[in-house]
Structure 1
Amino acid sequence: MTAKILTVDDSASIRLTTRVALTNAGYAITEAVDGMDGLSKMRSGQFDLIVTDLNMPQMDGLTMIRELRKLPAYMGVPVIFLTTESDNELKSQAKAAGATGWLTKPFDPESLVKIVKKVLGR
């Protein structure tokens, strides 16, 4: 069965790069433009993994993770941050909120695919 991944980023170019890399690796991708859109899509479907930016309008990635962890269906779903931020305090906050991994932009699409495969175990 193909893993379903939700990517959440306000940058169209990052969404495109992420979609191409993960689609070419065999994953089914759904995109959201910010945390609010991401939560809406999570409530209407089930995903195996979330890849999200941190800094976005309307709702940032950290707030989105805190909200998604309140949804029973998403308590154990892995979340990878894909962000320009590299601050250790932000990483600690993300981990405390339930993030599984962190990849800093600009990123190598192959590195993203490797992390996704490792996290999903496939």
Structure 2
Amino acid sequence: MKILVVDDNPAILDSLSALLSAQGYFINTACHGLAASEKLQNDCYDLIIVDHLMPIMNGIQLTKHIRQHEIYSEKPVIFMTTQGRKTVKNICDTSLFSAIIDKPIDEQNLLKLINDLLSPNTRLQSL
């Protein structure tokens, strides 16, 4: 399974890459939405983890872009935020996301969520 992790914080990219690689996932990273968009055009991912606040193209803009492509219209997108779920619900349509998680990331909950989202019988999850 291939996962794309998008965050402008190198420490978060490194820690999530290490965590997910140790679980057997193939990880690719991008430091902002535009870089992620380019990677999504050149490769196919099973799941995308997107940070909220990033330069160039934020996570909401990126997810809207992702959902416009037929290949990714139903792929799971986990949205990470430091702003809280309530704030995200007030500024955008949260149905864009398969799940919203708060930063700092609870690694065990993230792993369970990813497992649930990538299970064939699970369609959408919410924490």
TM-score by length of 2: 0.88
Note the 1:1-122 alignment, pairs <5 A: 3-91=1-89, 93-96=92-95, 98-121=96-119
- The amino acid across from 1:59 in the alignment is M
- Which runs of at least 4 in structure 1 moved beyond 4 Å after TM superposition? none
Report the aligned-residue RMSD. Answer: 1.4
Percent identity reads 31
How far did 1:108 drift? 2.0
- Quote the residue 2:123 is aligned against: none
TM-score by length of 1: 0.91
Alpha-carbon distance in structure 2 between the residues aligned to 1:91 and 1:29: 28
How far did 1:87 drift? 4.1
How far did 1:32 drift? 0.4
- The amino acid across from 2:94 in the alignment is K
Unpaired stretches in structure 1, ≥5 consecutive residues? none
Unpaired stretches in structure 2, ≥5 consecutive residues? 121-127
